Amino acid sequence: MGMPITVEVVDDRVGDTAIKDTFDYFKAVDEQYSTYKPDSEISRINQGLPRKQWSKEMREVLNLCKKTKQETDGYFDIEHNGKLDPSGLVKGWAIDQAAKRLRKRHIADFYIEAGGDIQTWGLNGDGEPWRIGIRNPFNTREIVKVIHVSMSGVATSGTYVRGQHIYDPHAPGKPVHTVKSLTVIGHNIYDADRFATAAFAMGEEGIKFIEALAGLEGYMIDHHKTATMTSGFQQYVA
């Protein structure tokens, strides 16, 4: 889906098989869910594939999208101009699934990043929590915060890499200009990613939405270059 993917495993006993399996899994996800591939299942659905021919997994993912829409008062919406694009949920979901696959191999320390969304587990090569930098959306070569996380997911929604791609679904066609980046930390990347996307679509009110969700913390930078964080975010700051 046009995203760079990084996998780092801190375990000398792990061979190439585990890493290859992880990348093969992401390739399979891409083949099934990419709206850029005309032969992907989601593209065929948008071309009129009958519901009875949808895969079981696709049904489950689209149900998760529907559930997220309900949980976010409609701010997470995968339908655009009559077409479905579940990539706003699939990315975090796929990273979460890939992490579970590594854990089933009894791998204790690893880091997976796809398109800026991250799942950490255990410790880094120095035996410390993983260090994640949050970029300045006005100068992407500058890191404005460094956080320490272990067994956590970190997702950032913004427009400074992919351009304007998040819109307020309650105001069709209206891009979100008041927020430049919104980072969410959660127990898993699935929740962090889907709720970061929805919160960004809410504009400046999004950080309040994250504050109200149990197990999530957030850090928002608005168009005035002002940062706002949730009450528990500081515990992660290096």
**What letters, b where the CB count within 10 A reaches 16 and e where it falls short, cover 44-65?**
ebeeeeeeeebeeebeebbebb
Q: Report the C-alpha gap between 72 and 18 in whole angstroms.
A: 36
Q: Supply the pLDDT for residue 171.
A: 67
User: pLDDT tens-digit profile of 60-76?
Assistant: 999 999 999 999 999 99
User: pLDDT tens-digit profile of 149-200?
Assistant: 999 999 999 865 555 556 667 666 666 689 999 999 999 999 999 999 999 9
Q: Residue 60 in 3-state DSSP?
A: helix
Kindly state the tokens that stand for 165.
Answer: 């791609």
Kindly state the tokens that stand for 209.
Answer: 């939405």
Please give the CATH number for the structural domain made up of 5-236.
3.10.520.10
Q: Supply the pLDDT for residue 2.
A: 78
Tell the burial category of 238 from Cβ atoms under 10 Å away from its Cβ (0-12, 13-18, 19+): exposed
Q: Supply the pLDDT for residue 170.
A: 63
pLDDT < 70 positions in the chain: 1, 159-168, 170-176
The overall average pLDDT reported for the chain is: 93
Q: Supply the pLDDT for residue 24.
A: 96
Q: Supply the pLDDT for residue 220.
A: 98
Contacts of 35 (CB under 8 A, 6+ apart): 1, 42, 43, 46, 83, 85, 87
CA-based R_g, the chain, Å: 18
Q: Please state the pTM of the whole predicted model.
A: 0.93
Query: Considering only CA atoms, which of 233, 223, 168 is closest in space to residue 197?
Result: 168
Q: Supply the pLDDT for residue 166.
A: 64
Q: Supply the pLDDT for residue 14.
A: 83
